[in-house]
């Protein structure tokens, strides 16, 4: 430690000379810098070291580096020597602190982040050291491989070595396997499809594609997640012309492993929409079986019109809901049709027809989610002629889904149609058959009758409030408070006070009831006081 400090202090002397020579800082500022660094050196030489002591020094040097960069712009001079000296010191501080506190992952990450900007040639070595202590995290192996590959793609052998060592420790890591797959796929895409290696009948590209396939087959033994296969297919789509055979292989494996997984069918349908037709992988330019795989698959993908792609997509979804017959599959189908209609510039009529057909078929299946019934109701209710159809459909749906949300949809449609008799009939039904979860429905009915402002509305409202206030469900205390406010404003103050006296003794007790009454009484007191003060000022 003593030698390390002494060496670093010796290196500071030329820095101070350069600061004075270039007039970067005033003499007083240089003395302050010297004093500050001496204090920082003392902290990292004490017997009981802490990570914070080194971090304080590193942060100070980073701030000094930034200050010098700003000075360069202001003074129009180059301070490369000073900045390089500070960068070297920061690197040495990181190396020193991490030799003592190897467990601190954040420190390793900060060192790498700094080195990528100031000394990228050092990053690979830093990663290797970090992996010795933190190789239990597969993401570090991925980060190391990606950095080395992007920094210098000629290091592909070293990249492969890092990934293979990482996979020995984490064979079931999706991130590691996909990283290996992606890098080898990029290498295959860069390879010459016409160049043969020695006496090999396969091209350089074909050989590299076989390596990609080998990585894929090896990962299958340890990974069984559908999302992993989906990500591999997405990577293949970026190099569609050379990966048709590989895509076909992955899709076949997915169909074998996940035949009844809604996500698989959704993926197949979305690929059709993007133009990646499943049958393309089976098409070959000729019958020459000895032709390399990459040359067979290098034919351009079939170009289809948007109309045809939409039709193929819908066909897959229709097959899916017929095979699976689950609400999850119907939800994926309907969400896809809604997303398709979010962009109505091209093939607008076809997209709208596909959505209408999907909603109609979803209703017939009795598996459509209430969220999609809400969309269907909105579409039908936009035209007066469609409101009756909405009532019919929602009434049928309510027989299979008696949720509060479905009741709200039907009740809201009746309110929109001003069908008082149907609203009252529906209220009588759910107030007998449903419990406290129906509170939103009670509130909808109360709001409807309060806005009618006729004799029938007042009579119905009084009857509903009487039933509600007699309820023993704690959540219905909100309706008791609402009833007091109604009486206070619509009837009379005395009527509200009389009802409050009754409800205050009726269980379950509610603090909200007393607060509501107190607010009403205080509002009356304010109204009474205002004329009095007006007379005084007059």
Q: What is the mean pLDDT of residues 235-258?
A: 93
pLDDT tens string 522-536: 988 666 555 544 444
Weakest mean pLDDT among 4-13, 352-361, 481-490: 4-13
For residues 83 and 279, the model is more confident at 83
> What does pTM read for this prediction?
0.80
Query: What is the chain's mean pLDDT, rounded?
Result: 89
pLDDT at 350 exceeding the cut of 90:
yes
pLDDT-derived band at 198 (thresholds 50, 70, 90) equals low
Helix, strand, coil abundance in the chain, percent, nearest 5: 80, 0, 20
pLDDT at 335: 97
* Angstrom distance (rounded) from CA 493 to CA 489: 8
Ranges of H-type helices in 325-403: 327-341, 348-365, 370-381, 387-400
| Residue-wise pLDDT tens digits, 285-304 | 444 444 444 444 444 455 78
Task: State how far the alpha carbon of 66 is from the alpha carbons of 29, 59, 86, in Å.
Answer: 16, 11, 10
What is the rounded average pLDDT of the residues 500-520?
91
Residue bearing the bigger pLDDT, 506 or 167: 167
Give the pLDDT band (50/70/90) at residue 397.
very high
* pLDDT tens-digit series, residues 99-145: 999 999 999 999 999 999 988 999 999 999 999 999 999 999 999 99
Determine the pLDDT at residue 527.
60
Alpha carbon distance 256, 214 (integer Å): 19
The CA distance from 41 to 63, in Å, is 17
The whole-number average pLDDT for the span 294-319 is 77
170/221 Cα distance (integer angstroms):
13
Supply 16's token pair.
């101070």
| Cα separation, 375 vs 188, whole angstroms | 47
Nearest to 246 by CA among 276, 269, 272: 276
Average confidence (pLDDT) over 225-236: 95
Least confident of 77-81, 110-114, 421-425: 77-81
Looking at per-residue pLDDT, the higher value among 373 and 299 belongs to 373
Least confident range from 25-39, 206-220, 425-439, 518-532: namely 518-532
Q: Is 492 helix (H, G, I), strand (E, B) or coil?
A: coil
């Amino acid at each position: 430690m003593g030698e390390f400090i002494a060496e670093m202090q010796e290196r500071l002397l030329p820095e101070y000379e350069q600061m004075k020579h270039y007039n970067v800082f005033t003499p007083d500022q240089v003395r302050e810098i010297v004093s500050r660094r001496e204090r920082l050196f003392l902290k990292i030489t004490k017997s009981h070291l802490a990570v914070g002591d080194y971090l304080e020094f590193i942060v100070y040097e980073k701030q000094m580096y930034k200050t010098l960069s700003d000075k360069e712009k202001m003074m129009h001079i180059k301070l490369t020597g000073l900045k390089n000296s500070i960068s070297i010191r920061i690197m040495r501080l990181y190396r020193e602190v991490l030799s003592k506190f190897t467990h601190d992952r954040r420190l390793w990450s900060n060192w790498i982040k700094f080195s990528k900007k100031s000394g990228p040639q050092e990053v690979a070595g830093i990663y290797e050291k970090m992996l010795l202590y933190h190789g239990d995290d597969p993401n570090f192996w991925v980060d190391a491989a990606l950095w080395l590959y992007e920094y210098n793609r000629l290091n592909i052998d070293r990249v492969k070595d890092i990934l293979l060592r990482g996979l020995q420790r984490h064979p079931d890591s999706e991130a590691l396997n996909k990283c290996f797959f992606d890098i080898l796929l990029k290498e295959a895409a860069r390879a010459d499809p016409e160049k043969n290696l020695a006496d090999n009948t396969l091209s350089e590209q074909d050989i590299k594609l076989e390596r990609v396939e080998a990585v894929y087959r090896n990962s299958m033994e340890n990974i069984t997640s559908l999302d992993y296969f989906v990500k591999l297919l997405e990577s293949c789509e970026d190099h569609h012309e050379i990966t048709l055979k590989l895509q076909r292989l992955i899709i076949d494996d997915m169909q074998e492993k996940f035949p009844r997984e809604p996500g698989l069918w959704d993926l197949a349908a979305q690929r059709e929409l993007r133009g990646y037709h499943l049958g393309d992988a089976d098409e070959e330019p000729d019958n020459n079986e000895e032709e390399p795989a990459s040359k067979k698959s290098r034919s351009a993908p079939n170009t289809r019109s948007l109309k045809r792609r939409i039709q193929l997509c819908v066909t897959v979804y229709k097959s899916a809901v017929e095979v699976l017959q689950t609400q999850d599959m119907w939800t994926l189908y309907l969400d896809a049709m809604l997303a398709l209609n979010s962009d109505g510039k091209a093939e607008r009529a076809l997209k709208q027809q596909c959505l209408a057909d999907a909603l109609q078929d979803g209703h017939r299946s009795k598996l459509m989610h209430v969220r999609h019934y809400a969309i269907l109701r909105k579409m039908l209710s936009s035209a007066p002629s469609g409101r009756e159809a909405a009532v019919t459909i929602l009434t049928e749906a309510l027989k299979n889904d008696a949720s509060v949300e479905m009741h709200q949809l039907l009740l809201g449609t009746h309110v929109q149609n001003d069908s008082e008799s149907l609203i009252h009939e529906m209220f009588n039904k759910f107030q007998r058959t449903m419990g406290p979860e129906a509170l939103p429905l009670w509130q909808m009915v109360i709001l409807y009758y309060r806005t009618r402002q006729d004799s029938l509305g007042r009579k119905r409202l009084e009857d509903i409030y009487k039933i509600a206030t007699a309820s023993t469900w704690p959540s219905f205390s909100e309706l008791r408070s609402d009833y007091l406010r109604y009486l206070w404003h619509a009837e009379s103050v005395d009527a509200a006070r009389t009802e409050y006296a009754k409800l205050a003794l009726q269980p379950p007790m509610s603090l909200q009831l007393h607060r509501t009454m107190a607010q009403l009484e205080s509002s009356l007191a304010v109204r009474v006081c205002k004329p009095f003060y007006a007379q005084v000022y007059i």
